[in-house]
Amino acid sequence: MCQHVCRENVFGETASVQAVLEGHDEVVRLLREHDKRSLHREVMFGLWPIHIAAQRRPVSTMRSLIDEWGVDAAIEDPKGYSPFVVAADWNNGDVVRYFIQEKRKLLVQKPQMVLQAAKVTAANWKREAILRLIVEETGLRIGEGHLEALLEVAISAGNVSIAIFLAAQKAERDIAKS
């Protein structure tokens, strides 16, 4: 069975990888016992299946990859983006929420992932809800200099609503200090 399940197409994708790309969680689970390695390596354009899943697949796919397959949740793509950052960049709120709620320990250990996701979203006016989710629900403190840097990114991108949100966060912090 493995010879068929593990066979790669011209893009280097096995049946398991194709199932992830199509969002077929049940197929991924069925193939798991026959293909233990293909989801733990790069497939195309330097991306790992977990990055592709972070873009637009349901949270169940992400949960399966990390919790069942043991795929590294912090692996970086060629841009240096973790799956959390990719999900924020692609506006996949369910996956962002999954990381915040179920993978908080990882985000605490790697606060640069939170900051990177915030920067990616601050530059894009369509990502205000994701930025709010990251800033408000992580419970992680964005350092003073970083908050100002995010504000600068939002302003330079002409992202008024996010700039207002970040300015309010900064004002709250300043009031709490005094």
Secondary structure (DSSP) of 75-111? ---TTS--HHHHHHHTT-HHHHHHHHHH-HHHHHH-H
State the DSSP string of 122-161. Answer: HT-GGGHHHHHHHHHHS-PPPPHHHHHHHHHHHHHTT-HH
User: Global pTM?
Assistant: 0.76
Which tokens sit at 155? 């302003």
Under CATH, which number does the domain 8-176 receive? 1.25.40.20
Domain ranges of the chain: 8-176
Please write the tens of the pLDDT for every residue from 70-128: 888 999 988 899 999 999 999 999 999 999 999 988 988 888 888 889 888 888 777 88
Task: Return the pLDDT at 91.
Answer: 93
Task: Return the pLDDT at 4.
Answer: 47
Is-contact 95 64, C-beta < 8 A? no
Statement: residue 32 has pLDDT above 70: no
Statement: residue 1 has pLDDT above 50: no
Is-contact 25 60, C-beta < 8 A? yes
**14 pLDDT band (50/70/90 cuts)?**
low
At residue 90, what are phi and psi to the nearest 5 degrees?
Answer: -90, 5
Please write the tens of the pLDDT for every residue from 123-158: 877 788 888 888 777 755 566 677 788 888 888 888
